[in-house]
Each structure stands twice: as structure tokens, then as C-alpha cells.
């Protein structure tokens, strides 16, 4: 995508996210799902970058996951995500019935069907289930504005099921983790921006606190951690595979976590209130970090792979 095209997309996405009554409809109207199919890297960077930056709410992850699932039957459905902190498919098929333990974005309240990725023996399938057949509980949680729901079902009959290609779940995780990583880095950068502005204007001992090395080094630490997340994200686009996407999600989550810690400390009292916007970013980062594997849990998964193979994966090439 050309730079000016991308800028235009960014502008209209941001407009859709802040001013439309329903962000999902507005993104549909500007053709985001088509852009996602045609130019996934730009599409994901722009939409999830804007979501993070603006602390906006949309169910765009559903679109990314559906696109990766690639099942025609799933078109138009909301998507069931793995349970919080987990990354196994949210559904399990046994004896022809489907059990579900997962999460969903707000879109699930407005769609008649939910696409539930599920394990069926050795296979991964996507089961299309009527929304009303699932026990759906709205979650207030730490970020109520996101409108997430908990999905549960003991034994439900899907409307239709479709068997996915052997590596389809890896593809779904890859796409989802890249999108969440993009949003987490953007949230981290937004927090750092707020902390920087505060440091330059807040005066103590007769000078802006940005002049104190203790403050400067905290902000530098956050900046470096976010750059590491960003670099990993770039690698996950240039060399897409399950490991690069996992590391992008983990390093982006780590960047957001470090940015949250230091920004919170630099913003001090005001950053601890609802008067200042920081808290919304802090809370959103905590929520997104837990989706599809957290930055505190995923490194162990890397280690498990290292110990199973006793072999370092080939590092990124030039």
C-alpha cells in the first residue's frame, strides 16, 4: 500500500472508531474486511494501531480470525476465542456434541451465530453454533467498555461444521497474535506519550520532572521495550510462522507491561485516578495481554519447545 493510501485509510479508520455509533458497522462501511483480505499487513497495522492508540472498541479481532479460519460457512458469524490466558481452541467435540469454554467480543451480542474453533480428535474444525444455544455471560471485568462475554456450553449441536486444514489453528493463532501485538504496542506508545507530556509539564523542586534522570531512565526503559515489541512484530510479518508470531505477541505484551509500569510511576498520583486517561490504557493492556497467551506465560512455551527439540530455531536472516 502506498504511503498516501495508508494515511487515508488511517484517517477514515480513526474517524470510524471515534465518531460512529457502532465501530464495527463503520469499519465494514469503509471496506476494512476487503482491505484485510487484500493487504493484511497494512490493514491490521492501521486498524489495531488506531484501536490501541485511541483506546477505542471494536470486534475487529473477529474479522482477523475469521479471515485466517478461511471457512465459508463462518462468514458473518461472531468468533469464539480461547479462554483467558489459554490458546487452545475454545471448543471440544466429543460424541458429536460440542463443549465450549471461551470468550467473545461484543459482536457476539449482535450476531445470530458464533464460529467456534474446536478440537475433534486429531482434527481442528470450526463449528457454527446458534448464539442463543450458548450460555453467554456479559463480563464487566477490568475494561467493561470492551463488552466481552464468557461463552459456555456443555453439549451443544452445531448448525454446521467444517473441517479445517491441518495447520489452520496455527494460522488462526498467528493472525490473532499479530493483531493483538499491534494493539498492545500502540497502547504502550500511548501510555508513554501521556507520561512524557506529564514529565515535561509537571514541575517539582522548581523544574519539570523530565529533567530528573530517575524519570528519564524509566521512560527510556519503556521506549526500548516497545521498540523490541515493534521489531518482533515486523519480523512476524516478514517471516510469518507460529514462533515469530508468538514472540511478537509476547514481546509486545512485555513492552506494554513495562510501559504501563513506568508511565504509571511517572504519572504518579494523577495517573492513579479516573480523572486522567492513563488508567483506561493500563486496563486494556492487562485484558489484551491475556488473550491468546500472555507475555508472562508465552516465554515458558518457547522454553518447552526448546527443551523438546534441544535445538534453537534458526534465528531471523537478513
Residue 316 binds other proteins, judged by CB under 8 A: yes
Stretch that binds other proteins, among 22-30, 68-76, 84-92, 302-310 (CB under 8 A): 302-310
Q: Which of 6, 111, 130, 196 binds other proteins (CB under 8 A)?
A: 196
Q: Judging by DSSP bridges, how do beta strands 91-94 and 113-120 pair with one another? A: parallel
Our CB check for other proteins shows the closer of 77 and 235 to be 235
Our CB check for other proteins shows the closer of 131 and 244 to be 244
Q: 159-163 contacts: CB < 8 A, separation 24 or more?
A: 159/113, 159/128, 159/129, 159/130, 160/73, 160/127, 160/128, 161/93, 161/120, 161/125, 161/126, 161/127, 161/128, 162/71, 162/72, 162/73, 162/74, 162/125, 162/126, 162/128, 163/120, 163/123, 163/124, 163/125
Tell me how far apart the alpha carbons of residues 211 and 112 are, in angstroms, rounded to a whole number. Answer: 56
In whole angstroms, how close is the CB of 318 to other proteins at the nearest point?
A: 5
Tell me how far apart the alpha carbons of residues 315 and 318 are, in angstroms, rounded to a whole number. Answer: 10
Number of residues that bind other proteins (CB under 8 A): 43
Tell me how far apart the alpha carbons of residues 318 and 247 are, in angstroms, rounded to a whole number. Answer: 18
In whole angstroms, how close is the CB of 191 to other proteins at the nearest point?
A: 13
C-alpha cell at 130: 446458534
Residue 302 binds other proteins, judged by CB under 8 A: yes
In whole angstroms, how close is the CB of 309 to other proteins at the nearest point?
A: 8
Stretch that binds other proteins, among 42-50, 79-87, 100-108, 199-207 (CB under 8 A): 199-207
In whole angstroms, how close is the CB of 278 to other proteins at the nearest point?
A: 17
Detail the DSSP E strand segments found in the chain.
Answer: 78-79, 81-82, 91-94, 97-104, 113-120, 123-130, 135-138, 149-156, 160-163, 203-204, 207-208
Residue 318 binds other proteins, judged by CB under 8 A: yes
Q: Which of 104, 174, 235, 292 binds other proteins (CB under 8 A)?
A: 235
Residue 203 binds other proteins, judged by CB under 8 A: no
Tell me how far apart the alpha carbons of residues 96 and 118 are, in angstroms, rounded to a whole number. Answer: 12
Residue 217 binds other proteins, judged by CB under 8 A: yes
Q: Which of 1, 88, 133, 212 binds other proteins (CB under 8 A)?
A: 212
C-alpha cell at 52: 490501541
Q: Enumerate the β-bridge partners of residue 124.
A: 119
Our CB check for other proteins shows the closer of 38 and 220 to be 220
Stretch that binds other proteins, among 71-79, 121-129, 276-284, 292-300 (CB under 8 A): 292-300
Stretch that binds other proteins, among 37-45, 178-186, 218-226, 272-280 (CB under 8 A): 218-226
In DSSP notation, 197-219 reads HHHHH-EETTEEGGGSHHHHHHH
Cα dihedral: 218, 220, 222, 226 (round 10): 180
Our CB check for other proteins shows the closer of 14 and 189 to be 189
Window 40 to 69, contacts with other proteins (CB under 8 A): none
SS3 118: strand
Stretch that binds other proteins, among 46-54, 161-169, 195-203, 256-264 (CB under 8 A): 195-203
Our CB check for other proteins shows the closer of 62 and 230 to be 230
Residues binding other proteins (CB under 8 A)? 192, 196, 199-200, 207-208, 210-213, 216-217, 219-221, 223-224, 227-228, 231-232, 234-235, 247, 250-251, 254, 298-304, 306-307, 310-312, 315-318
Amino acid at each position: 500500500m502506498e504511503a498516501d493510501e495508508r494515511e487515508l485509510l488511517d484517517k477514515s479508520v480513526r474517524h470510524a472508531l471515534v465518531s460512529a455509533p457502532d465501530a464495527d458497522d463503520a469499519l465494514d462501511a469503509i471496506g476494512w474486511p476487503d482491505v484485510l483480505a487484500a493487504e493484511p499487513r497494512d490493514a491490521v497495522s492501521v486498524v489495531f494501531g488506531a484501536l490501541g492508540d485511541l483506546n477505542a472498541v471494536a470486534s475487529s479481532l473477529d474479522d482477523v480470525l475469521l479471515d485466517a479460519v478461511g471457512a465459508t460457512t463462518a462468514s458473518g458469524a461472531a468468533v469464539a476465542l480461547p479462554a483467558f490466558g489459554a490458546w487452545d481452541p475454545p471448543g471440544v467435540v466429543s460424541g458429536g456434541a460440542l463443549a465450549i469454554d471461551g470468550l467473545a467480543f461484543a459482536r457476539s451480542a449482535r450476531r445470530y451465530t458464533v464460529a467456534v474453533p474446536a478440537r475433534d480428535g486429531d482434527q481442528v474444525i470450526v463449528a457454527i453454533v446458534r448464539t442463543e444455544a450458548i450460555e453467554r455471560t456479559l463480563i464487566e471485568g477490568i475494561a467493561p467498555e470492551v463488552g466481552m462475554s464468557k461463552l459456555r456450553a456443555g453439549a451443544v449441536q452445531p448448525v454446521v461444521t467444517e473441517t479445517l486444514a491441518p495447520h489452520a489453528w496455527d494460522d488462526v493463532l498467528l493472525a490473532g497474535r499479530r493483531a493483538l501485538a499491534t494493539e498492545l504496542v500502540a497502547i504502550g506508545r500511548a501510555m508513554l506519550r501521556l507520561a512524557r507530556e506529564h514529565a515535561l509539564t509537571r514541575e517539582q523542586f522548581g523544574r519539570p520532572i523530565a529533567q530528573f534522570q530517575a524519570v528519564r531512565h524509566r521512560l527510556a526503559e519503556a521506549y526500548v521495550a516497545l521498540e523490541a515489541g515493534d521489531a518482533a512484530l515486523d519480523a512476524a510479518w516478514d517471516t510469518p510462522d507460529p514462533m515469530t508470531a508468538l514472540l511478537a505477541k509476547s514481546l509486545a505484551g512485555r513492552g506494554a507491561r513495562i510501559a504501563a509500569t513506568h508511565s504509571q510511576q511517572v504519572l504518579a498520583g494523577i495517573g492513579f485516578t479516573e480523572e486522567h486517561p492513563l488508567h483506561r490504557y493500563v486496563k486494556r493492556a492487562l485484558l489484551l495481554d491475556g488473550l491468546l497467551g500472555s507475555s508472562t506465560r508465552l516465554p515458558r512455551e518457547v522454553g518447552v519447545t526448546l527443551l523438546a527439540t534441544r535445538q534453537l530455531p534458526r534465528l531471523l536472516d537478513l
